Amino acid sequence: MCGIVGYIGRADAASVLINGLRRLEYRGYDSAGMAVMDEGRMVVVKAPGKVAALNERARARWPDGSFNRAASGIAHTRWATHGPPTEANAHPHLDNSGGIALVHNGIIENYRALRSRLEGKGHVFHSDTDTEVLSHLIGDCHQGDLFQAVCDALHQVEGTYGIAVMAVAEPGRIIAARCGSPIVIGIGDGETIIASDAAAIIAHTRQVIYLNDRDVAVVTADAVNIRDLDNVPVDREVARLAFDSSAAEKGGFEHFMLKEIHEQPDALRNAIRGRLDFHLGTAVLSGMGTSPRDLAEINRVVLLGCGTSLHAGLVGEYAFEDLADVHAEVQQAAEFRYRNPILGPRDMVVAISQSGETADTLAAVRESGQKGAFVMGLCNVVGSTIARETGRGVFLHAGPEISVASTKAFTCQVAVLLMMALKLGRGRRLSRDEGMRLAREIESIPELVAATILQNDHIAEVAARYAHHEHAFFIGRGPLYPVALEGALKLKEISYLHAEGYHAAELKHGPIALLEQGTPVVAMANAVPGQDKTLGNIEECRARGARIIGVVTAGDSRVVGLVDDAIEVPACHPLVATVPSVVALQLLAYHIARHRGCEIDQPRNLAKSVTVE
Ligand code: F6R
């Protein structure tokens, strides 16, 4: 999604901004721009397309080689919402005088009303964006104090924002503010970096301050002064970033997605380490903040998420019911607050979000909190809004996920959900022996995944046979049903092939009409309860000419002859089997997309972190 970088300090701002934007490219965007203060003038350069195009334009703008002389600036990668990804719509946007520049993440919901009011006062707009309204509004409020102008303008807007603003009249300072869209400020040695994501900061410093909603910061090269929208000083602690910048490099892999698929054994080890108690046969997840009594009183688990995180939640639903005998349900986070969720203190709500910034999941967290539920986060990004607002939960420790298509976050989410279900289950239905056996199964997940990744070359060959198709179906049942959904999602988002995931039994209730000679059907045919029925569904597909790619348990002779191509995963517990099985599907999607020549790490139209509703 959109990215913000701001810089003020001794280095040349233009280069820092371009490098910072490169670090944010993984989030997905379709145009870029920057404004720098160059010898008392505001110079704005924008380009549709990639940061490389912006860099070229910026260098051409200063043909005498003086590209590197500005000491402050703001920059942006835009993921189009209001208006197409053109140069005019790219940020920064200027106010009516041209002396104030602004970059913005989020959406100004009342921009139409504000725009017509400002047009009535003679303001002339040059873009279709909601953002330009905010720059004009700040200009309209400006009477010599940019901080005050920003506060006055923000009091008038409805919606979400993370912004950075600068004015020609007030060189040496940048104003940053947030409400619903993250802003992190990196404190360096004689330099300060503002960003929407710590990835743009880590090359400069590890000391950061996360702004809270309604915070407005006055940023100079040596100081950060934070107040609220009503000009009351607020104290924000300085946190330390945990990851190092090499985690954001490809490390010899052709794509971040492939690197992150291969990182999964290690990521899973990190997610599991120290969290299994083999003596008591349970999981130790102190971040959940639950006493044995709390756990005993929980009578429902509600799992919230979007996209891939929603699919992890669906696996979790099976796990909580199977292992803990507790009613569990998954709710699509975007829908949650628009219905009437019935929640109370005995409901444990688990908000699942890799980024911890997904707007819909965050809103559902707030709704759950207001209704008195026991809310916790299952996030990867430490310091993210959901992690901070829930204040309890479990971190994935999967390391930064750069590829837009989520891989290692999903498998770590499932591993953590299995541990949560084990912990809950031990207080309810699982004996110590059963708990110990399950803990051993969970402990083996990294090795099961490593064994699956060894089939990478074979999966690449299978992928080559199917890459020319335009449609595919994925089927599964039980906990492998969400794996089928996730496999289809992975394939469609990176290969642009039309893929549908269905419960295996659901196919004959309609979708089977679409099967033709040669249509690929990816079947979760693992040797787990329900396999017989899935094998029957495979027969039904074959009878209609479909070609079957089976995800099968290694050495399972029952599937021989039933599938056209087999991808083997090691034998294991049915819930645990979801993890190596999804890894097989991640690799299948990756290789199909590669054969189709797709831009794998930054698929069209997609964003890594969806911070708008
Ligand atoms: C798909 C994908 C998305 C995210 C979804 C939620 O590969 O990455 O579907 O899973 O946007 O994001 P988080 O987990 O950050 O809340």
- The string of DSSP letters for 47-86 reads EES-HHHHHHHHHHHSTTSGGGG-SEEEEEEE--SSS-S-
pLDDT at 421 exceeding the cut of 70? yes
Cα 60 versus chain centre, distance: 35
Confidence (pLDDT) at 291: 87
List all residues 6 or more positions away from 138 whose beta carbon is below 8 Å from its beta carbon: 95, 100, 102, 146, 149, 150, 153, 165
pLDDT at 66 exceeding the cut of 80? no
| pLDDT higher at 294 or 552 | 552
pLDDT-derived band at 69 (thresholds 50, 70, 90) equals low
Q: How far is the CA of 610 from the centre of ligand 1 (A)?
A: 8
pLDDT-derived band at 70 (thresholds 50, 70, 90) equals low
The pLDDT tens digits for 423-441 are 999 989 999 999 999 999 9
Bridge-based pairing of strands 520-524 and 547-553 is: parallel
Average pLDDT across the chain, whole number: 94
Confidence (pLDDT) at 68: 63
pLDDT-derived band at 612 (thresholds 50, 70, 90) equals confident
For residues 577 and 538, give the distance between their C-alpha atoms in angstroms, rounded to a whole number: 19
pLDDT at 609 exceeding the cut of 80? no
Averaged over 72-88, what is the pLDDT? 92
CB 386 within 8 A of CB 213: no
Candidate from 303, 306, 331 with most ligand 1 atoms within 8 A of CB, to mutate: 306
Single out the residue of 89, 103, 98 nearest to residue 34, CA to CA: 103
Given 259, 423, 490, 608, the catalytic residue: 608
Neighbours of 231 (CB within 10 A): 10
Is 2 an annotated catalytic residue? Answer: yes
Q: How far is the CA of 321 from the centre of ligand 1 (A)?
A: 24
% of residues, the chain, pLDDT over 90: 84
pLDDT at 88 exceeding the cut of 80? yes
Averaged over 56-71, what is the pLDDT? 75
CB 27 within 8 A of CB 4: no
Confidence (pLDDT) at 610: 79
Residue 598 beta carbon below 6 angstroms from any ligand 1 atom: no
Ligand 1 atom closest to residue 490's alpha carbon, by position in its atom list: 7
pLDDT at 402 exceeding the cut of 70? yes
CB 68 within 8 A of CB 12: yes
Confidence (pLDDT) at 249: 72
pLDDT-derived band at 64 (thresholds 50, 70, 90) equals low
Q: How far is the CA of 308 from the centre of ligand 1 (A)?
A: 5
CA atoms within 13 A on the CB side of 79: 25
Residue 578 beta carbon below 6 angstroms from any ligand 1 atom: no
Ligand 1 atom closest to residue 358's alpha carbon, by position in its atom list: 16
Single out the residue of 246, 115, 105, 232 nearest to residue 176, CA to CA: 105
| pLDDT higher at 601 or 493 | 493
Confidence (pLDDT) at 63: 64
Residue 585 beta carbon below 6 angstroms from any ligand 1 atom: no
- The residue contributing the CA closest to ligand 1 atom 3 is 307
The pLDDT tens digits for 10-49 are 888 999 999 999 988 877 788 999 999 988 889 999 999 9
pLDDT-derived band at 245 (thresholds 50, 70, 90) equals low
The pLDDT tens digits for 100-148 are 999 999 989 999 999 999 999 999 999 999 999 999 999 999 999 999 9
Ligand 1 atom closest to residue 310's alpha carbon, by position in its atom list: 10
CB 539 within 8 A of CB 475: no
Residue 353 beta carbon below 6 angstroms from any ligand 1 atom: yes
pLDDT-derived band at 246 (thresholds 50, 70, 90) equals low
Q: How far is the CA of 437 from the centre of ligand 1 (A)?
A: 32
Residue 611 beta carbon below 6 angstroms from any ligand 1 atom: no
Residue 407 beta carbon below 6 angstroms from any ligand 1 atom: no
Residue 354 beta carbon below 6 angstroms from any ligand 1 atom: yes
Q: How far is the CA of 306 from the centre of ligand 1 (A)?
A: 6
- Beta strands across the sheet bearing 498-503: 498-503, 471-476, 520-524, 547-553, 565-569
pLDDT-derived band at 67 (thresholds 50, 70, 90) equals low
For residues 562 and 551, give the distance between their C-alpha atoms in angstroms, rounded to a whole number: 12
Ligand 1 atom closest to residue 404's alpha carbon, by position in its atom list: 8
Averaged over 471-495, what is the pLDDT? 97
Which range, 80-84, 168-172, 384-388, 518-522, has the best average confidence (pLDDT)? 518-522
Confidence (pLDDT) at 613: 75
Which domains does the chain show, CATH number per domain? 3-247 (3.60.20.10), 253-443 (3.40.50.10490), 451-601 (3.40.50.10490)
CB 492 within 8 A of CB 520: no
pLDDT at 312 exceeding the cut of 70? yes
How many helices, marked H, and strands, marked E, lie in the chain?
19, 26
Classify residue 211 by its DSSP letter: P
Lowest average pLDDT, out of 116-120, 196-200, 240-244, 490-494, goes to 240-244
Residue 493 beta carbon below 6 angstroms from any ligand 1 atom: yes
- The residue contributing the CA closest to ligand 1 atom 16 is 353
pLDDT at 65 exceeding the cut of 90? no
Lowest average pLDDT, out of 266-280, 288-302, 304-318, goes to 288-302
pLDDT-derived band at 606 (thresholds 50, 70, 90) equals confident
Is 179 an annotated catalytic residue? Answer: no
